[in-house]
Amino acid sequence: MDIPIKLLVACLACFKISMVLVHEKWGERLRDKAGVWATDEAGVALTFWGRILGCFWCTSFLVAIPLAIWAFDWNAHAIIGACAIGGGAIVLYHWVGMHRLFRDQGS
C-alpha cells in the first residue's frame, strides 16, 4: 500500500478509535477507570488520563502515534505523520459536526 492510501486509512482509523475512547459507549469503562468523571470545581478531570480521555484532540494525537509508525515504517517521517494523522482526525471530527453534537449533549 502506498503512503497516501495508508495516510487516509490511518486518519479514518484514528477518528473512529478516538471517538470510541472519548464519546461512545464502548469506551465508557475505560473512561470510568481513567477518572474522566472525577472533576474539580472548574470541571477539569483530576487525573492525567482522565484529562486525556476527556479530550478528543488529545486522544486523537495519542492514537495517531502507533498508526503513524504503521504508516511510515518506523522512520523519521512517523513524527510528522502522527501530527498529520491526528490533525486529519480532528478535521474530520469538526467537519462532520461531532464537536457540536457532543457539546450540546453536555459530554
Q: Which domain holds residue 47?
A: 3-105
Task: Give the predicted TM-score (pTM) of the model.
Answer: 0.83
pLDDT of residue 102: 64
pLDDT of residue 66: 94
Contacts of 27 (CB under 8 A, 6+ apart): 20, 21, 53
Which cell numbers hold the place of 61? Answer: 494525537
- pLDDT average per 10 residues of sequence, the chain (107 residues): 87 95 90 87 88 93 94 83 93 82 57
| Overall domain count for the chain | 1
Distance CA 8, CA 81 (A): 11
pLDDT of residue 75: 80
